[in-house]
Each structure stands twice: as C-alpha cells, then as structure tokens.
Structure 1
Amino acid sequence: MRRVVIGATAVSMALSIAACGKAGDDKDSGSDSSSSGGKSIGLLLPDSVTARYDKFDKPFFDAKVKALCSDCTLEYANAAADPAKQAQQVSSMVTKGVKVIAISAQDSAAIKSSLQAAANKGVKIVAYDRLAQGPVSGYVSFDNVKVGELQGQSLLDALGSKATTKAKVVMINGDDADPNAAQFKEGAHKALDGKVDIAYEQSGLWKDTVAAQKMSAAITQLGAKNIAGVYAANDGMAGGIANTLKGAKISSIPLTGQDAELAAIQRIVAGTQSSTIFKNYKLEAEAAAQMAVDLLNGKKITAPTTLTSGSGDKVPSQLLTPVAVNKTNIKDTVVKDGLWTVADICTADFAAACKSAGLQ
C-alpha cells in the first residue's frame, strides 16, 4: 500500500483538482438543521471524550461546508463510542434525506452494512480520519503509519543514551476496531523494534481507565524500577497512564501521546509527558468538507493516492502530515498554528513550568 505525505499546499492543489472531478459520554448532538433532503451533508464522529471531535473537527467542517455551499445544511451526530448507535445515526440521516455522509467510524468493520444500505439509497460516503469499510467515495486522514513512527522516534529521542535493547518499554495501543490503531502500532514498531525491549504490550481501547489498568499491570509484571519508558497511542490514554505512574512514584520516564490535547501539552510543559503528535484538524476537516461538497455537486473525487480498505475497496485518499511535539517546539507548532494559545496552556498551575519552557 502506497502512502503519500502531503502538506497544506498539496492538499489545496489536490482539492482544486477534485473540483474537476474511545469511550465517551452519551453526547449525541443531533442535527444542526431542521431541513430534510436538498443540499444536506451529514457528519458522524465517533466519541465525545476525545477532545478534538466536538471542539475542532465539527466546527471546522461546518464552517468550510458553509463557505463552499451557502445553501447547504449540516446534520451532525456523535456516536459516544457506541458502534450500534452510530449505525442508527447513519440510518437516521438517510431517512432525513442527507445526500453525503462524512463519517469517522467508531468500528470500521461493523459500520460496513450501514454504509452499504446508505449507498443503495444514493448517499455518498466520505471516510473521515478513519478508513471505514464498504462503499467509500473518498478518504481524508493523516499518514497514520508516520504518526506511529514519530511517536516511536520521539520515545527513543527522549530516552537518549538509555535507548538500548535492554531498556524495557511498555506499549499501550489503541482500539483494534479502529483501523488507524493498527497503523499507529505498525509505525511505532518500525521505530522501536530492535532498539528497545518492548516488554509489555496491550490495547488500551482508547480509554484512559483501561490504559491506567494496563499500566498498573505492567508495573506489577515488570517492576516499577525496570520500566524505561511508555508508548501511549493517544493523549487520552497517556493521561490515565500518567496518573498511574504518579501513584506508583515513577517519574522522569518518557511517555508519548497523540492529538496534542491541551492537558497533554500541559503535561509536556510540566514534564509528566514527553511528547505528543499534532495533527492539523482544520486542514483535515476542510479537505473532508471539500470532498463532501464536491460529491454533493456530482463531481468525481480525485486524490494524490489510493488506499485499500479492510473490505478490499480502493478509495481515493488524501493523507496529511503529522508533526511531533515536545517541550522545545510547542510555540512553533500548536501555538503558531492556532490550536492553543499560550494563555490556554499557561494557567496558574503551569505558570512556573511555562516560564521554564520559554512560553512566558
């Protein structure tokens, strides 16, 4: 499978070409409009605990749709980490007459039959962030293997001279129902295998509580003094792991993450997490919105590469570039690109650490 990493300029070019052709609370937002049919686009996101979805992805997607199509309306729902609920949401949108659905699948395989039923009614599907199985017309995400590679390399960089084949590393991966999780894992193993000893590896299911439990089990199995570092596939799980490490009086060991959540950036500033991965949600959401509007207008999707989904379908795909973030480049990444302000990060509890990190 060929993966192409593209930046913001390439995304813009690709889209102009296209114009020629984890556990969550029960926060189902329902619809942003009362319209039925017509120029209606649906957005389905997988959970509401992962901070990015409701805070960034949804408003960025909505704004871009409205900029491209002033008379379009958006139907929105969040699955609250429940695959059955997301299947119902797909059916509900079809009933409402939605013409295009952009979906970040909670379970990429389980949603296949629902997407097929929607496609049978003439609904076009955009896979957003996660490559769903079934009849998908286009896919927008990040280079997820690269994400894992960056996570693994960031862990090695933080270990420094301690990165030896005797260094015991704990690896807490994402949910196997999410195809991205396997790609993050693949990339991380590319970076870590043969350089450290991955002594304990389990899935944390994208849940901070499960990740915390698995970290506790790893400490029991390996011994607190024998753990050199921890790979956590995202920031939510890293938060649970950080609490477990603190409770076990384990400090000053590298801990990775992903999503550049505010709490993670603050942990990086404070020294309880070593790195995260920043993915520019605005670029991703806008690219997906462009795809959705193009499909609504009957245009064929073209993209820089083609990926094969778990169901064997060939899908035109745009893969954006992830960026590793640590204490040295917070200002040049998440602050510069407007994800968080210095004021967001440097609250009273983190003022001294921010000053030390050069943020204030």
Structure 2
Amino acid sequence: MKRIPLRGVALSAAALVAMTAAACSSGTTGTPSGSGGQGGADGAKIAFLMPDIASTRYELYDAPLFKAKVKELCASCEVLYQNAQADAAKQQQQANAMLAQGVKAIVIDPVDSAAAATIVQAAQAQKVPIIAYDRPIPAAKADYYISFDNEKIGSSIAQSLVDHLKKEDAKGGVLIVNGSPTDAAAQLIKKGIHTGVDASGYKLLAEFDTPGWQPNKAQEWVSGQIAQFPDGIAGVVAANDGTGGGTIAAFKAAGAKVPPVTGNDAELAAVQRVINGDQYNTISKPIKIVAEAAANVAHQFAQGQKPAGKTTLFDTPSELFVPTVVTQENVNEVMFGAEGGMKAAEVCTPEYKAACDKLGIK
C-alpha cells in the first residue's frame, strides 16, 4: 500500500519572514522559489532514496510525483533519486554519496529501518535533515516522518476481511502474510492486522514475515500452508499487494479455490485482481498526497525552517494520512474518481473488460 527536505541561508529575521511568506505561504501555491531566489532554496539538491523495485509504485509514482512537486516549488532545485533494490548496504552507500554531493535534505524510505539509524546519524552530523518516508526509523529520531497510518492500514484490511468472512459464514481459520521483518512500517501493519484478527473468532492458523516483501517468498510459504490446511483456510490477510499476489498465485498453482485475500497499495495489477474477484481488498493510498506533502516539508527545510508535525510517532514530528479500503463495492468510485486517478483504458484490458463492465467501470 506507503519523503522530502531542503535547507537555507543566513538572512535577517525580517527578510526571512517576508521571503518565506512569499515563497511558501501554503506550501502548495505561489511563485516557485527557484525563479526568485527566495529563502535560499535556489539550486538545492534533495536526495530521494527509495527501498526496492518489488513494489512498482516507487518507480511509477513516488519518484515522478515527488520530483514534479519539488520542481513546482523550486524551479532550480534538483532531486537526486536512487533505488536501493532491497539492499540495505547499498542504500547506506547511496546516502553517503548524496551527502558527499552536498544535498540539503534526504528523504528516505528505508530498506532496513534499524540499519537506517546510521544514515540518520551521519546526515544529522552534517546538519542535513532526514525525512522518513512511508517507513519510520524508530532507532533514531528523524527530523520528520510522512506516511499513511500503517497501523490503521493493517487493522482496516484485516477487519474488512473478517467482516466479509462473517457475512459469508465462512468456515476455517486465517493465515497472515506480513511484510518484511526489517521494515518498521511492516511491523506497524502487523500490529494493526492482529487487532482485526485476534478478536475475530477465527483461528490464526499460521503467520509469516516475508523477507524483503518478496512475492515469491510469500507464494512459497503459502504453498506449504495449503498442504497443511487443505480445507481449513477461510481467508488470508496479506500485508501488501505483492504478498497478496504471491498468495493468490500459490492457491492457483495448487489447483485450490482462492479464498478472500487482502492487499495494500492499490497497484494496477491488484486493482485488476479486485475487479476480477481474485483479490478481496486493497488499500488506496494516493501517493500524490504523501509525495507532495513530503515535497512541501522538504522545501521548508531548504529554506531553513523546521516544520512542525501534526502528530508524533517514535518521538518524530509526523504527518499520517488515513487510508481507504477498496473492494468491488467501491473500486469504481475510489480508484477511478479524483482520489485514485486510474484510467479504465489502462485497467480494463481485454482480460478484465467483462468484469469492469459488470462493475460499471468505463
């Protein structure tokens, strides 16, 4: 299912107040600071470090949206984008390289939340602010954290599944396929999932922490559970669309009926599975919301400001957005409306056209 900063120059207090008001009154409108030199953000470099390519969102949405918003706010600023491809050591090297290039802020979605504490310490030693994006860094206090509410994501997808199972009077127990054990956001999602499952009355058959969020690892584990519980799996709470897709593939490969399976991120393939009835739900997390919020915060850091969070998580000023559960009942409204922004032409390919037509997706 789910990133920004910059810095400033020494100006007089009066000049700084006047210029920041002109350049960043709301963080979303006004003249781009790069064209007028306001606030010292001109030419600033901002690092945008994403964790992997297993989830397609980073390349397709997060990076382009973040770059576009930064450019809108500061025409002469430069976003330096790197993807660690699920390698924590590589991400450390990328962060070090960014510091060497003089970035004014680092926005990071960590591969390994614990290991990323070293990146935070190194950056802050050079007075470069760190914005944790999507995944928190509990072991070190970042300067800011922006994400959807991960614990709420977990509880929402689990409760949605449990309510559906009860409505259908489904028999059997539940499997839980969690995210990466090194991802603090995954642990928040896991905590939320358990709030939905533990009191549901459905037996927890087994659960698995998926290394690196890798769909093939989820598929491999679920395949083994199908063999152990051939007639007793009522549903599966999968922590994201990748693990959900791996889960569904495991049931299909075994020639077994696919039970209701959850997801998170509303990736295109997952939305197609929801439309087709292969996946029960996913989570709509309009990436534009968090990417632009991160860009606004980055711009403030670039101007030498210290933005206040709307809440606090892990002793870090934070902004957490509320996710939306998507099922067949609301997929048309949510994913093809203003929030989701998907286009029927991209989703309703020949394989899914009949299912789209049935749901009124055009």
Tell me which interval the TM-score lies in, with the shorter structure as reference length.
0.7 to 0.9
Question: Are 1:357 and 2:362 an aligned pair?
Answer: no
Q: Shift of the alpha carbon at 1:304?
A: 1.1
Q: Which segments of 5 or more consecutive residues in structure 2 lack a partner in the other structure?
A: 1-23, 29-41
Output one character per residue of 1:89-108: Cα deviation in whole Å (capped at 9) or x when no partner: 00000011111000001111
2:317 corresponding residue in structure 1: 316
Mapped partners of 2:306, 2:52: distance in 1 = 30
Question: Which of 205, 216, 219 matches 2:226?
Answer: 219
Superposed, 1:283-322 pairs within 5 Å as 283-308=289-314, 314-322=315-323
Report what 1:326 is aligned to: 327
The answer to whether the 8 A contact 2:240-2:264 is kept is yes
CA separation in 1, counterparts of 2:279 and 2:91? 33
Give 3-state SS (helix, strand or coil) of 1:70's partner: coil
User: Are the aligned partners of 2:112 and 2:182 in contact in 1 as well (CA < 8 Å)?
Assistant: yes
How far 1:118 moved relative to its partner?
A: 1.8
Question: 2:46, 2:78 within 8 Å by CA — same for their partners in 1?
Answer: yes
For residues 49 and 267 of structure 1, the distance between their equivalents in structure 2, rounded to whole angstroms, comes to 18
Q: Could you tell me how far 1:339 is from its partner in structure 2?
A: 3.5
Q: CA deviation at 1:288?
A: 0.7
Residue aligning to 1:192: 197
2:34 match: none
- CA distance in 2 between partners of 1:182 and 1:42 (Å): 26
Match of 2:109 among 104, 108, 111: 104
Q: Secondary structure at the match of 1:306?
A: strand
What is the total number of aligned residue pairs between the two structures? 322
CA distance 1:125–1:346, shift in 2 (3 Å): same
Q: CA deviation at 1:250?
A: 2.3
Secondary structure of the residue aligned to 1:302 is: coil
Q: What does residue range 21-170 of structure 1 map to in structure 2 within 5 Å?
A: 38-132=43-137, 133-162=139-168, 167-170=172-175
**Which has the larger displacement, 248-257 or 81-90?**
248-257
Counterpart-to-counterpart distance in 1, 2:254 and 2:105: 49
Between the aligned partners of 1:326 and 1:94, the Cα distance in structure 2 is: 43
Q: 1:241 to 1:341 in 2, by over 3 A?
A: same
Q: Which position in structure 2 is the counterpart of 1:29?
A: none
Cα 1:157/1:344, change in 2 over 3 Å: farther
| Residue 253 (structure 1) shift | 1.6
Aligned-pair CA distance for 1:44: 0.3
- Post-superposition shift, 1:18? 8.4
Cα separation, partners in 2 of 1:226 and 1:272, compared to 1, 3 Å: same
1:252 Cα deviation (Å)? 4.9
C-alpha separation in 2, matches of 1:18 and 1:75:
21
Question: What is the rounded CA distance, in whole Å, between the counterparts of 1:135 and 1:192 in structure 2?
Answer: 31
Note if contact 1:18-1:303 (Cα within 8 Å) is conserved in structure 2: no
Whole-angstrom CA distance in 1 between matches of 2:320 and 2:310: 8
Question: In the alignment, is the contact (CA less than 8 A) between 1:18 and 1:301 conserved in 2?
Answer: no
TM-score (norm 1): 0.86
State the 1:293 CA deviation: 1.1
- Judge conservation of contact 1:125–1:137 (CA < 8 Å) in 2: yes
- Greater alpha carbon shift after TM alignment, 70-79 vs 337-346: 337-346
Matched AA of 2:217: V
- The one-letter code matched in structure 1 to 2:318 is S
Please say which structure displays the higher CA radius of gyration: 2
2:21 — aligned with what? none
Kept in 2: contact 1:38–1:98 (CA 8 A): no
Deviations 1:253-273 (A, max 9, x none): 210000001111111111111
Answer yes or no: is 1:262 the counterpart of 2:268: yes
CA distance in 2, matches of 1:306, 1:17: 21
Distance, in Å, in 2 between the alignment partners of 1:213 and 1:323 is 29
How far, CA to CA, are the matches of 1:341 and 1:16 in structure 2?
33
| Partner residue, 1:208 | 215
Residue by residue over 1:102-160, the C-alpha shift from the partner in whole angstroms, topping out at 9 and shown as x without a partner, is 00011111121122112111211111111124241111001111101111012113213
Distance 2:340 2:65 in 1: 13
SS of residue paired to 1:292:
helix
2:51/2:83 contact within 8 Å kept: yes
TM-score (norm 2): 0.85
1:34 aligned residue: none
C-alpha distance in 1 between matches for 2:155 and 2:172: 18
1:272-320 Cα offsets, whole Å, 9 max, x none, are 1110011110010011111111111100110211111xxxxx2110000
Letter in 2 for 1:334: M
Mapped partners of 2:222, 2:141: distance in 1: 38
Q: Which amino acid aligns with 1:47?
A: D
Structure 1, unmatched stretches of 5+, are: 1-14, 20-36, 309-313
Q: 2:241 aligns with which of 231, 235, 241?
A: 235
| Alpha-carbon distance, 1:185 to partner | 1.0
Please tell me the root mean square deviation across aligned C-alpha atoms, in Å: 1.8
Distance in 2 (alpha carbons) for counterparts of 1:46 and 1:236: 15
